[in-house]
Amino acid sequence: MPAALDALITAGFNDGGTAFSYLMQARNHLYDLGNQIAANNWAAAETACDQAADDFGQFGKYLMQDDIWYHGLRYDWKEAFQWISDNWPVGGGVTMADILSEMLSASFEELTSFMGITQAYKVAVWDAPFNEEFYAALARGFKTWGA
């Protein structure tokens, strides 16, 4: 994977993990808030409420922020997808000419690997059901090549 893309995905993964840890801290502070209210401990309840609010703020920062102050998960993954879009290969993909050219320039080891794989495929389907009508029609289609 290209280093630029890997860095963005890794940053997004790390920001997502950090956001989740702040969310869990906020949950714990809310539980504490409930306990402090039940105990009529209003000063501790206020502290727990403030801590939960701060944790929710940090959660939002690591998850959604996309500005000059911080680039969170949203930014990292947006940039990763933009990188993929900007670097997407141009053209129609692999053509038959590409495959044949590679086969003609293959080393002996590559040829033996290819032959081994194709023979393994043949063994794997040897006793499998065979759709005679479909493959007969396919063969008739190929027959026109020599005409």
Give the contacts of 32 (CB within 8 A, at least 6 positions apart). Answer: 44, 48, 51
The alpha-helical segments, DSSP class H, found in 41-107 are 42-64, 73-86, 96-104
Q: 37 or 129, which is more confident? A: 37
pLDDT at 58: 93
| Prediction pTM value | 0.56
For residues 15 and 76, the answer to whether their CB atoms sit within 8 Å is: yes
Closest CA to 59 of 29, 39, 88: 29
pLDDT of residue 99 exceeding 70, the answer is yes
| H/E run at residue 124 | helix 108-125
- Please name the amino acid found at residue 2: P
pLDDT of residue 146 exceeding 90, the answer is no
Provide mean pLDDT across the span 131-143. Answer: 85
DSSP code of residue 146: G
User: What are the structural domain ranges in the chain?
Assistant: 3-86, 96-146
Please state, in angstroms and rounded to a whole number, the distance separating the CA atoms of residues 109 and 115.
10
Place of tokens 């998960």: 73
Please state, for a pLDDT cut of 90, what percent of the chain lies above it.
Answer: 54
